[in-house]
Chains A and B, each alone.
Chain A
């Protein structure tokens, strides 16, 4: 396998890590008003992701940074073409990040309610935007010979990219509910599980709709296999939720998103951002890759860095492995 292909796979892996990890913490944020009936319950929900959401978010930063280093033109064309959707994602992530940190810093109902709103909005918008962005890179844009967007500011917003936006939101919603079923105890857990069971069949429809569209357009046999795996995993997740096996359901959803990502990016390869104006303008792995030297350097850094990340992030999840419930939340303490 060439270095370029390896780096394509690495970037896909970073995006997958992001969708998997921040997927569930977005889901928790989205479900805050749905599952959390009072302030204590909402605090429990937020604290299931408290120690880890920030580390999860770094996957986005590294995915973007790796695109910049390994395929600069891919990063440059995609990020400038989807300018306004990305801006919305940034604004939402800014609000969400400070909201987690600040919501408990003043003991006032109004203060917390306002920051909770920011968390909810900030958890809905980024998956929409990231879904749109990733679908755009798979399905392409009108790009001129320099890789710049032709047309208006909303060129990246189309019915098929919106389907991708809904796909990631739907996945995050179910993934978040399954995570909460796994991480909470008592009534909250039951509520989260029931929600996941009911929502799953509907919420994952856009994802499978998107996969079918992509497979139909540019799929190969092996991406079809991945699609089938995704479908089987989704059904398994649903059955495990019904059978009260939270951990297995959560893992099955992980397999779903992994297989879905394989289908999407497998169909995309060797392009990285196709031009809808003609294949000559398409960005490909070959015409956007950095020099072999740069890729070699990055490979060394990645080969040591990435496993270390998996180890210490895994350790974090282990340290905070206990289920939490309303009985565990310490009293509010502010000066």
Chain B
């Protein structure tokens, strides 16, 4: 593999991995802050125990989210230095804002929350939880604004060959970002919801015979998870539809390949599943079960409209952005070669379907959980906790598939041209990569991947341990030493 491919693999692996931790942190931190609020307001022990239990899982997870996030920031400069030089004027700003405005708050107030249980007044301590959880959302906002600019550059114009920021407001209110942000945040909540339902159901099943406070903790967790999951899915569906419509305008190739739509159709039908060989990278071979005219509706809110197919789009892209890569030695083997405008069909087609499918399964479990626990009921059967535990994986898979679809679907561009606005701002992925030796990038790819693998095992091990420990595992025994309590109530 050459540096370009290695750097892409590294970016893909580190990003998807990072995004296994991030959604759980976002969703769970808000829900935990909510639980703590309920405790502070009502004084009910149930809420205190929920806060402690779910808060512990949040912490185990947060550590991994932070450390894998540093890699994300550094690798723009390390692996993608040509990209960084080209877009720094625009792209750097939201990234730096994330650090300065959001991440400082997140890290500082999390420290205060973890260690401040007995050192801070109750309400101040609660405020720390909210500061932390709202800052995770602010973080997501800035990062997604930066990413959305790569999908749909706005607020900039080319000066001396580089995009120059003209309006930060345009970047921060990019319509692509405004659709992507609630979509991604809702995805984060569906992860946390599945966690609450899955783990809650398992514990509730174990405590089904007893009649104690534990049961009310788990039942409340399931109910909270179920409602969160359903609301999250509603937001996902609405914002997903908005995003789809924007994408038909802004990145028609991504949507055409998501549908394996070869030829322009009017009206266009929506594909449910494919039975042909999508991997052949030739959509002629793909036969799909379709719903007539639905794609037209999804694209333009009108069942009769035309949707452009891959072949027509290729001609269109070639006319706008050239048929061959520039004859630049920095492009290595690709210099002067024809540009392949069709993203990987198998990945985009199935990525899109997996995202939607697994998102729906996750919401279904939430709905089921609410039904089974309605009016004080406790589910008796063994099948439900098993199903709920398995369902924890579904929003993770849906999220990952969504990201892979979004990022792979914009190839061969790293900055996708904006057909409806800014003129001339785009960049091919092949032009973005640093001029490094393959040895260097191999080293980092292997080192990071192996370290991530090891830490993944450790995190799952610890999560399991704390999940199994239940509530008793997270409520520390009374610390009698008064002086000690003054200095430290919690210690690593």
Contacts and interface: CB of A to CB of B under 8 A. Distances in A.
Interface in B99-146: 99-101, 103-105, 107-112, 114-116, 119-120
Interface string B455-476: 1001100100110111011101
Contact of A87 (B98, B107, B165, B447): B447
B88 A330 contact: no
Residue from the set A60, A80, A148, A302 with the largest chain B CB neighbour count within 10 Å:
A80
B483 interface: yes
Contacts of B110: 54
B84 A76 contact: yes
Contacts of A164: none
Interface in B157-173: 159, 164-166, 168
A264 to B, nearest CB: 21
A329 B165 contact: no
B487 A328 contact: yes
B71 A90 contact: yes
A207 to B, nearest CB: 25
A270 interface: no
Contacts of A322: 486-487
A75 B88 contact: yes
A297 B156 CA distance: 14
A174 B143 CA distance: 37
Nearest to B441: A83
A76 B469 CA distance: 47
B472 A335 contact: yes
Contact of A61 (B59, B70, B79): B70
Interface string A268-307: 0000000000000000000000110110011001100110
Contact of A78 (B77, B87, B443, B468): B77
Interface string A75-91: 11111100110110011
A132 to B, nearest CB: 15
Contact of A309 (B64, B104, B455): B104
Contact of B470 (A64, A152, A335): A335
Contacts of A93: 67, 70
B488 A330 contact: yes
A58 B88 contact: no
A306 B100 contact: yes
Contacts of B486: 322
A62 interface: yes
Contacts of B330: 146
Given A80-B436, A97-B67, A51 B99 contact: no
A55 B435 contact: no
Given A324-B488, A329-B488, A76 B81 contact: yes
B272 interface: no
Given A98-B458, A294-B90, A66 B96 contact: yes
B481 interface: yes
A197 to B, nearest CB: 26
A297 B120 contact: no
Residue from the set B62, B74, B468, B470 with the largest chain A CB neighbour count within 10 Å:
B74
A330 B476 contact: yes
Contacts of B84: 68, 72-73, 75-76, 79
Contacts of B473: 334-335
Given A91-B448, A98-B455, A54 B469 contact: no
A47 interface: yes
Contacts of B87: 72
Given A297-B165, A320-B119, A65 B92 contact: yes
A43 interface: yes
B386 interface: no
B4 to A, nearest CB: 14
B312 interface: no
Interface string B430-458: 00001111011001100110010001001
Given A55-B107, A87-B447, A153-B437, A46 B81 contact: no
Nearest to A101: B63
A61 B73 contact: yes
B132 to A, nearest CB: 11
A331 interface: yes
A79 B140 CA distance: 24
A293 B96 contact: no
A148 B70 CA distance: 23
B93 A316 contact: no
Contacts of A319: 112, 116, 119-120
Contacts of B165: 290-291, 293-294, 297
A76 B85 contact: yes
Contacts of B120: 319
A55 B100 contact: no
Given A65-B95, A94-B67, A330-B476, A100 B90 contact: no
Interface stretch (A103-111, A208-216, A247-255): A103-111
A87 B446 CA distance: 11
B383 interface: no
B487 A65 contact: no
Given A86-B78, A90-B70, A148-B435, A291 B89 contact: yes
A83 B3 CA distance: 13
A159 interface: no
B490 interface: yes
A33 interface: no
B96 A298 contact: yes
A93 B455 CA distance: 13
Contacts of B114: 50-51
A245 interface: no
A55 B108 contact: yes
Contact of A58 (B92, B99, B168, B492): B99
A5 interface: no
B462 A102 contact: yes
Contacts of A244: none
Interface string A305-320: 1100100110010011
Given A47-B492, A319-B120, 10 more contacts: A51-B111, A51-B112, A57-B107, A91-B451, A101-B60, A294-B168, A319-B112, A328-B488, A330-B476, A335-B472
**Lowest 4 CB-CB distances: which A-B pairs, in order?**
A72-B88, A335-B469, A335-B473, A79-B77
16 contacts: A43-B492, A53-B111, A66-B100, A75-B84, A76-B88, A87-B447, A94-B70, A147-B85, A293-B165, A294-B93, A301-B100, A316-B112, A319-B116, A319-B119, A324-B487, A328-B484
